[in-house]
Amino acid sequence: MRLTLKSNLLLGISCLLGYTGLAQDYEAQVEALMAKMTLEEKIGQTVMYSGEWDQTGPYVGTDNMKYIREGHMGAMLNAFTVEGTRDLQKAAVEESRLGIPLLFGYDVIHGHRTIFPINLGLAASWDLKLIEDTSRIAAEEASAEGIHWTFAPMVDISRDPRWGRISEGPGEDVFLGSEIGKAYVKGFQGDDLSKFNTILACAKHFVAYGAAQAGRDYHTTNMSEGELRNVYLPPFKATIDAGVETFMSAFNELNGVPTSGNKFTLRDILQDEWGYNGFVVSDYTSINEMIPHGYAADGKDAARIGMNAGVDMDMMGSVYRLYLKELIEEGKVDQAIVEDACRRILLAKFKLGLFEDPYRYIDQDREDTTKYKPEFLAKAREAAASSSVLLQNKNSALPLSKNAKSVAFIGPLVKDHYDIIGNWAAKGDRKGKAVSVFEGISEYLKADQILYAKGCEILKDDESGFEEAIEISKQADAIVLVMGEGHHMSGEAASRTNIRIPGIQPKLIKKIREANPDKNITLVLMNGRPLNLSNEVDLVDAILEIWFPGTMGGAGTADVLFGAYNPSGKLTVTFPRNVGQVPIYYNMKNTGRPIPETNPKEDYKSNYIDAPNSPLFVFGHGLSYTSFEYSDFKLSSDKLTFNEALKASVTITNTGDMDGYEIAQLYVHDVVGSVTRPVKELKGFEKVFLKKGESKTVSFTISAEDLKFYNSEMIYGVEPGTFEIAIEPSSDFKFTNSFELVND
Ligand code: GLC
């Protein structure tokens, strides 16, 4: 029951207090409220603590109700549902002096109750509309449970599969990462934040967190300003272009300065250069962590640095609550800076309509009737299928036949309901709500067609299940192995030095191949990072990468395995041959001694002596059950001036016997620059559906604006010269066309 009586009463009070609910009045209303607030109450808005409904960092016990009633807390994380937020909000609104409502935030990263594939999986769909739809659904479910704000999208570019949090991001490419970041912001925030089913988004982790040394989480990042501006900043700028209302500063230091105390990134770039007027929340105690970083002497010093640098809200650290008043009195922090932080936070609350009706997100009927709607689950099933990537398919092992006499399903993840929804799965159910692969395939095969053995665990060394697994593999027409990582093996604080399939799973794969030398074997992978599959590619026929596919993962996967959905996903991260190649990504620099194609063995070239330079699977790679032919590449001109646009087009034909999607990718290469340029750069993509035999022309427009980069003087511009250009199915190609960019 909505709190109608209460909210109508409040509506009356809010109008009396001048809360008109009109966007044009927000700023004036913020000022009017600020004028009534004490310094302690303004500081209170910069304080955030955790509820007990989840734990997403080291436990810090706090007396939440006390701080709320005193007006010494402005926001909470990990508190949701009507039951979990009503009393807290009531205490803020009806028991504190000014009744300023709380902001409730939670990590709704790839779904709240209905869980979608992990973000690295959703990225592999290259489907911006799908990504927007999934985040819109996530906002529907989250806002129905009292959540006003999600700590997403994570837009950290990463090129290191050792880093567990590569699973949460868009992958290795700047352009794609930027487009994906925008799609999430649009989905979460919708077109009107004052609606009760829209929530604040949060671009995180600002900045360069994905460049952690040695792929170890929270580790140091060091890079040139050029690398920062050309690779790690653009996806954050893109979220601002999409209207993102909040940012989260990161844990890592950048070039010696922790990013939660980094004035250069937070004020000089974010506020001054980009004109950002949202607010910045720290990561979980990341302000305090400047002490172990060796950048702050103590909590008070950390508070001084964080606030002066531009972190507006202290998540879980207590240092703003404890020290800001003193710092202001001592002249170490300017009161105006704290007031600016408070202003930004209050403005966000006005935009959400919380002053008009602080209980608008607290509605038991809506909470009870929103989660798991059939259309949400249908979208989750589509997302699982669309995010899967067919890495190899020798002997056309896939799709499977529904008429097979028997198919053996083997592996620790065949019947899994627990890991399948991945890390950062908010309130996703791990006890059985998710559709396992086994349940999914049971829609296609009868019980007597299915053989099953777990074979082994993900990590344990116990081989006692091998015999049964090998035995049933020998009885079956075809074999499907469902293996990979546990969901806890990626995500936060989950970096790995060994990126192979964990445990004794590889050993079981080998034994099953030895027992079935000529049978079709498919490996279905659940994992949160690129894996080193160098041993498996020759042992199995097909490899289907399904990431952690979410609540409907088993159903979506079965749709792909049996051909109801023709796989269309393509990698947004490179799969290395081994961890020694890392960092490895598609558009590294050419070096002065590239390996000559004509003589790959030539001495004194930039190569390894024990492995090729090339990865196992490249960025943009993904197979289909059909085949596509690219032909008739055209450029509207071989010259481009600074104020014109060039059109590049290609014809794509579905030459196979199955309808399907193809993701065409536009790449350019700036051959000579005042700084060296990547060997190729993604500058466009289009996911196009082609019936069997059908042809379509795909075209892209390129302008000088698309070719800009930061040079050694940090000037963002473009330089005349030769640009190679191509439209291809993946990043594995040689350019054969070019144009000249000329001054007018
Ligand atoms: C965690 C994560 C961050 C998350 C925050 C709140 O430490 O780094 O991504 O949003 O704390 O849970």
Task: State pLDDT tens for residues 653-664.
Answer: 999 999 999 999
- Give distance in angstroms: CA of 447 to centre of ligand 1: 43
What would the pLDDT profile of 29-67 be if each residue is shown by its tens digit? 999 999 999 999 999 999 999 998 888 888 888 899 999
**282 C-alpha vs ligand 1 centroid, how far in Å?**
9
Check whether residue 638 and residue 682 sit in a common domain.
yes
Q: What's the structural domain count of the chain?
A: 3
In a domain, 373, yes or no: no
Point out the catalytic residue in the list 127, 133, 283, 416.
283
Residue nearest to atom 12 of ligand 1 (CA): 56
According to the model, what pLDDT value does residue 60 have?
80
pLDDT per residue over 559-575, tens digit each?
999 999 999 999 999 99
Measured from CB, residues less than 6 Å from any atom of ligand 1 are: 56-57, 77, 107, 151, 204, 283-284, 492
Q: Which of 50, 259, 284, 314 to mutate to test the pocket of ligand 1 (most atoms within 8 A of CB)?
A: 284
Report the CATH number that the domain containing residue 124 is assigned in CATH: 3.20.20.300
Say whether 340 is catalytic: no
Q: Which atom of ligand 1 is nearest to the CA of 57?
A: 7
Q: Which residue has the higher pLDDT, 60 or 82?
A: 82
Residue nearest to atom 3 of ligand 1 (CA): 283
Same domain, 131 and 220: yes
Predicted confidence at residue 17, as pLDDT, reads: 56
The residue-averaged pLDDT of 256-269 equals: 98
Q: Is residue 461 part of a domain?
A: yes
Q: How far is the CA of 56 from the centre of ligand 1 (A)?
A: 6
Query: Residue 743 and residue 188: Cα distance in Å, rounded?
Result: 42
Is there a domain that residue 736 lies in? yes
Q: What is the pLDDT of residue 22?
A: 78
Reported as a pLDDT band with limits 50, 70 and 90, residue 15 is low
Query: Quick one: average pLDDT of 613-619?
Result: 97
Mean pLDDT of 359-374: 96
Examine the domain organization and report whether 244 and 386 are in the same domain.
no
Q: What is the mean pLDDT of the chain?
A: 96
* Residues 316 and 394 grouped into a single domain: no
Range of the domain at 472: 380-581
Q: Is residue 4 pLDDT above 70, yes or no?
A: no
Beta bridge partners of residue 245, listed in sequence order: none
Q: Whose C-alpha lies nearest to ligand 1, atom 7?
A: 284
- Is pLDDT at 430 greater than 50 in this prediction? yes
Helices within 407-552 (DSSP H only): 437-441, 466-475, 505-515
Cα torsion 458, 461, 465, 471: sign: positive
Residue range 417-445: mean pLDDT, rounded: 97
Residues 363 and 385 in one domain: no
d(CA 364, CA 633): 57
Q: Are residues 689 and 651 in the same domain?
A: yes
Percent of the chain with pLDDT over 90: 93
Q: Is the pLDDT of residue 2 over 60?
A: no
Interval between CA 424 and ligand 1 midpoint (Å): 9
Among 581, 616, 640, residue at a domain's last position: 581
**Do residues 155 and 189 both lie within one domain?**
yes
Q: Which atom of ligand 1 lies closest to the CA of 286?
A: 7
CA of 203 relative to ligand 1 center, distance in Å: 12
Ligand 1 atom with the smallest distance to the CA of 168 is: 9
On whether both 332 and 414 belong to a single domain, the answer is no
pLDDT, position 14: 54
The mean pLDDT value for 369-373 works out to 97
Closest ligand 1 atom, CA of 204? Answer: 9
Verify that 236 and 289 share a domain, yes or no. Answer: yes
Q: Is residue 152 part of a domain?
A: yes
Check whether residue 143 and residue 237 sit in a common domain.
yes
Closest CA to ligand 1's atom 8: 283
Give the neighbor-by-neighbor strand order of the sheet with 695-703. 628-635, 645-654, 695-703
Q: Is residue 606 part of a domain?
A: no
When pLDDT is cut at 50, 70 and 90, the band that residue 7 belongs to is very low
318, 336, 367: which is the final residue of a domain? 367
Torsion over CA of 46, 52, 56 and 60, rounded to 10 degrees? 60
Look at residue 252 and tell me whether its pLDDT is greater than 80.
yes
Q: Is residue 259 pLDDT above 60, yes or no?
A: yes
* Whether residue 433 sits in one domain with residue 534: yes
Q: What is the mean pLDDT of residues 513-520?
A: 98
CA pair distance 56, 151, nearest whole angstrom? 12
pLDDT on residue 600: 83
Residue 617, domain member (yes or no)? no
pLDDT (0 to 100) of residue 597: 84
CB 544 within 8 A of CB 522: yes
675 Cα to the center of ligand 1, angstroms: 36
Type and span of the H or E element at 631:
strand 628-635
Return the CATH number at 484.
3.40.50.1700
Is the Cα dihedral 328, 332, 336, 341 positive or negative?
A: negative
Supply the pLDDT for residue 518. 96
Q: Residues, the chain, total?
A: 744
Whether residues 221 and 328 share a domain: the answer is yes
Which of 150, 151, 200, 311 gets mutated to test ligand 1 (max ligand atoms within 8 A of its CB)?
151
